Amino acid sequence: MLVTVVIERLLSARDKQSLLNKLNMVIGAFFSEVGTHLLRKMSNLDPAVEELRGNLVMKGDWTDKEFDKAMDGMKNHRYEVAVQRSDLKDIREFLTKKREFLLGLLENPNLLEHESFTELLWAVFHFAEELDARTDLLTIPQSDLEHLTNDAKRAYSLLAREWLSHLRHLKNNYPYLFSLAARTNPFNPSAVPEVSGP
């Protein structure tokens, strides 16, 4: 009886770890395909982004302490976006191209196991739907611009925190993937994918 219980627990733990690995692969695909680019667009519209940037220029030797400090900065940041109508048009064009990809992620039942990422996905998808519902974003009234700005802020704040959590996962488990993510950091205006220096 005891042996059976131990074996069941080991199998359950192994299954859970396997599911988490799969979820992290899905999250990685999201950031490669949509998240990093969208986060770059959003952070460029944040008038207070410099407050975040100071803690987010990362190197390959980042420690848990540095991640904790950056996450505290993320949690305390007041996410604002100075969105213009033309910005919304540009974001809509980008998200429209990624619609099928986002729908595919939403259809993945395993994502329910990762609440914060599911919340992010719904926020991004809702923002995309709101943008898509407008015929002409360049002529929307100020009240509607403010409504869409709130949707953008929600997506931006969730995106930023989930991005940093994902980078911590990469740093601890896949240093070579973390290296590229750090070199293409959406908060670093001088980030380049090429490896430079000694």
- Each residue of 77-132: pLDDT tens digit? 999 999 999 999 999 999 999 999 999 888 887 776 778 899 999 999 999 999 99
Cα–Cα distances (Å) from 120 to 34, 185, 192, in that order, read 12, 19, 26
Q: pTM for the full model?
A: 0.85
CA-to-CA distance for 76 and 8, rounded, in angstroms? 42
Domain membership flag for residue 84: yes
Counting residues of the chain whose pLDDT is more than 90, the rounded percentage is 53
- The total number of structural domains in the chain stands at 1
Residue 5 lies inside a defined structural domain of this protein: no
Residue 60 inside a domain? The answer is yes
The reply to whether 108 falls in a domain is yes
Instruction: Give 160-175 pLDDT, tens digit per residue.
Output: 999 999 999 999 888 8
Note the pLDDT tens digit of each residue in 51-76: 888 888 777 678 889 899 999 988 88
Spell out the alpha helix ranges (H) of the chain: 2-30, 36-44, 49-56, 64-76, 85-97, 99-106, 115-133, 142-173, 175-183
CB 168 within 8 A of CB 23: no
Residue 179 lies in a domain: yes
Residue 191 is assigned to a structural domain of this protein: no
**Mean pLDDT over the full length of the chain:** 86
Question: What does the pLDDT read at residue 5?
Answer: 55
Let me know if residue 25 belongs to a domain.
no
| Domain span holding position 79 | 43-183
In a domain, 129, yes or no: yes
